[in-house]
Structure 1
C-alpha cells in the first residue's frame, strides 16, 4: 500500500489513508468499465456510512492508464450509465506521462513501478494471444 496524503477530500473515510492497487491476469474488455465502476460504487455504499473505501476501477494497456469516474469534467468521456472515462496517464518515450488534469499522486510518479509491471503483463498477455493465431 501507498500512503495517500495528497488531499483531505476523503477525510470522511479515515484520517490516515492508503492507496492499494489490484491487478488481474487476463485481458479484460475496456468496454466493461461502466459495469466495473457501478459494481465498485455498490461496494463503497455497502462498506458503511460514511463510506470506508473509495474504489476507482480502470485498466492499463500498452499506451495508457484509464480510470472510471461518476464525475464529469471537460477531459472525461461519457460512456453511458452515468460513468465517464479518463486517460489519467499515457506511456510514451518509455515512461509514464501526466496531463495537466492528472491527480497529483499519479503525476508525481509514485505508482509508476506498479503501473509499469501491469503494463508489461498486459504486453506479455497480448503477445501470447497473437501467437496463438
Structure 2
C-alpha cells in the first residue's frame, strides 16, 4: 500500500486570448487583483493556430500568458476556472457597446507542477478527469528528461517555441519557489 503524502503547492497560470490588444493591461490588473501579483508574463503572441475562435472573437487574436507569484493547492483549479468564466462575462458586458466582437477575451487557467502542465476545461473528453463544479482537468504536456513532451491531444499552440519558452521559464521560477520553501520532490530528497 502506498503512503499518502501531502501534494506540493502548484503554480497557477492563466492563458489569455484577446481580440482587442488594448484590453490586455486591464485584464492583467484584474487578474492580479483576483489571484495575486504576476511574477512572469509572456510577450504578446499572435494566435494563428486554429480558426476555432474566429466566429466569436474575430480574425485578429493575441495570446498572453501570466503566472502568479502565489502558489495554490491543485484542488482550487475548478474554483479558479469558475471565477475566470465570470471575469470573461464581465469583460463581455463591459465591452458590449464598443466592441466589434461577441467575445473580446478568453481566459484559460491551469497549473504547472514538477512533472506536468494541467489545463482546466468545461468540456469533457476521454482524456480529461472531472475535478468538480462542472470543470475537467487535462494533463496537456509533461516534463521528462529536461524538456516538455506532448500527448496526441496537446494543442498545437502549446507545442510552439513561444509557449515552451514561457512554460520553461515558469517552471524555473516554480522550482526556486519550492526550494525557498524547503520543499523538494521525493526523488530529489
TM range (shorter): over 0.9
Out of 100, 103, 114, the position equivalent to 2:166 is 114
Distance 1:31 1:56 in 2: 16
Q: Which has the higher strand share?
A: 2
Identify unmatched segments of 5+ residues in structure 1.
none
Q: Tell me whether 101-110 or 113-122 shows the greater mean CA deviation.
A: 101-110
Question: 1:40 touches 1:57 (CA, 8 Å); kept in 2?
Answer: yes
Q: How far did 1:45 drift?
A: 1.6
Identify unmatched segments of 5+ residues in structure 2.
1-43, 97-101, 184-189
**Which segments of structure 1 move beyond 3 Å, counting only runs of 4 or more?**
none
Q: How far did 1:29 drift?
A: 1.1
TM-score by length of 1: 0.93
1:17 equivalent in structure 2: 61
Matched length: 131
The CA deviation string for residues 18-49 of structure 1, in whole angstroms up to 9 with x for no partner, is 11100111321111000110011111122226
1:62 equivalent in structure 2: 114
Which protein has greater RCO, CA pairs closer than 8 Å, 6+ apart? 2
1:8 equivalent in structure 2: 51
CA RMSD of aligned residues (A): 1.3
TM-score by length of 2: 0.66
